[in-house]
């Protein structure tokens, strides 16, 4: 009997539609937030709107990380610096979804954005714009949170630039495209002689669940902005 050779690479669904939409909507909102605040004047009103949209997306992603498809779940990419180092050294085989290094990037970005949006709710420019929850804290606390908000935006920008640099590194060094899978959802997977990894669920059931969670997240942001102030 002739021994079976290694399984041929095949394309599987890794990134479900809700995860892809979250990613690109977050990119658009971050860019819009940075542009609008730098324009100043009445454009700052859009800075707040983009901030509320980002908060909605973050709440959705938090929920989706527990109930979404396989590769969208936090359990599929645990935070592990040691695994990230091993992956950089090439001692870990590539797997679908986020690599250990990608997981570090995701968690760092989520934390930085939570800090940015959280402090922005209480921030003030001492001229014409106040965060919707500024009335809940003292002027001194609002000033301190505003300072954190202004400094942390450079952290967000830095993480975005690192993210872009990592994508270019993947393309040039690892010969692995990351942008296209985040657009179409499918990724080429070579499992060698091992079992082929399963595809992520991505159908009407997942889309309806994501829509419900997005609506729940939007309602929570509306309540925070209008009811707590």
Helix (H, G, I), strand (E, B) or coil at 43: helix
Q: How far apart are CA 217 and CA 164, in angstroms?
A: 28
| Residue 18, C-beta contacts closer than 8 angstroms, at least 6 positions apart | 64, 68, 72, 206, 207, 210, 214
pLDDT digits (tens, 9 = 90+) for 142-151: 999 999 999 9
Alpha helix segments (H runs only) across the chain: 17-39, 44-67, 81-88, 100-120, 139-169, 179-184, 204-227
Answer with the residue of higher pLDDT: 104 or 190: 104
| Residue 69, C-beta contacts closer than 8 angstroms, at least 6 positions apart | 16, 19, 200, 201, 202, 206
The per-residue pLDDT for 194 is 62
3 has a pLDDT exceeding 60: no
Q: How far apart are CA 60 and CA 58, in angstroms?
A: 5
Q: Categorise residue 110: left if φ over 0, alpha if ψ from -120 to 50, beta otherwise.
A: alpha
Q: How far apart are CA 56 and CA 37, in angstroms?
A: 19
Query: Which residue, 113, 108, 95, is CA-closest to 163?
Result: 108
- Secondary structure letter of residue 148 according to DSSP: H
Average pLDDT over the chain, rounded to an integer: 89
| Residue 142, C-beta contacts closer than 8 angstroms, at least 6 positions apart | 122, 123, 124, 130, 131, 134
Neighbours of 89 (CB within 10 A): 8
Q: What is the mean pLDDT of residues 157-182?
A: 86
Give the predicted TM-score (pTM) of the model.
Answer: 0.90
Both structure tokens of 190: 């070579």
The CATH T-level fold of domain 11-188+213-227 is Fumarate Reductase Cytochrome B subunit (1.20.950)
User: For 49, phi and psi rounded to 5 degrees?
Assistant: -65, -40
- Secondary structure letter of residue 14 according to DSSP: -
The per-residue pLDDT for 99 is 83
Q: What is the mean pLDDT of residues 77-90?
A: 81
The per-residue pLDDT for 91 is 61
The per-residue pLDDT for 147 is 96
The per-residue pLDDT for 53 is 98
pLDDT digits (tens, 9 = 90+) for 20-45: 999 999 999 999 999 999 998 888 89
């Amino acid at each position: 009997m002739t021994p079976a050779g290694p399984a041929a690479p095949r394309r599987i669904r890794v990134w479900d539609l809700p995860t892809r939409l979250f990613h690109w909507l977050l990119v658009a909102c971050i860019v819009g937030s940075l542009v609008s605040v730098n324009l100043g004047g009445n454009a700052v009103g859009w800075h707040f709107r983009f901030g509320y949209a980002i908060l909605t997306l973050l709440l959705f992603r938090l929920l989706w990380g527990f109930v979404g498809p396989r590769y969208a779940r936090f359990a599929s990419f645990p935070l592990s610096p040691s695994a990230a180092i091993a992956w950089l050294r090439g001692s870990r085989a590539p797997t679908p979804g986020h690599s250990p290094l990608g997981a570090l990037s995701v968690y760092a970005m989520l934390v930085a954005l939570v800090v940015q949006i959280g402090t922005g709710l209480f921030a003030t420019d001492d001229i014409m714009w106040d965060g919707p929850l500024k009335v809940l804290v003292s002027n001194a606390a609002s000033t301190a949170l505003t300072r954190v908000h202004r400094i942390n935006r450079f952290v967000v920008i830095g993480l975005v630039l690192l993210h872009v640099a990592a994508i270019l590194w993947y393309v040039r060094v690892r010969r692995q495209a990351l942008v296209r899978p985040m657009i179409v959802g499918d990724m080429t997977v070579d499992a060698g002689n091992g079992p082929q990894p399963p595809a992520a669920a991505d159908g009407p059931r997942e889309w309806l669940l994501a829509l419900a969670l997005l609506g729940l997240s939007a309602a929570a942001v509306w309540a925070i902005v209008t009811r707590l102030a």
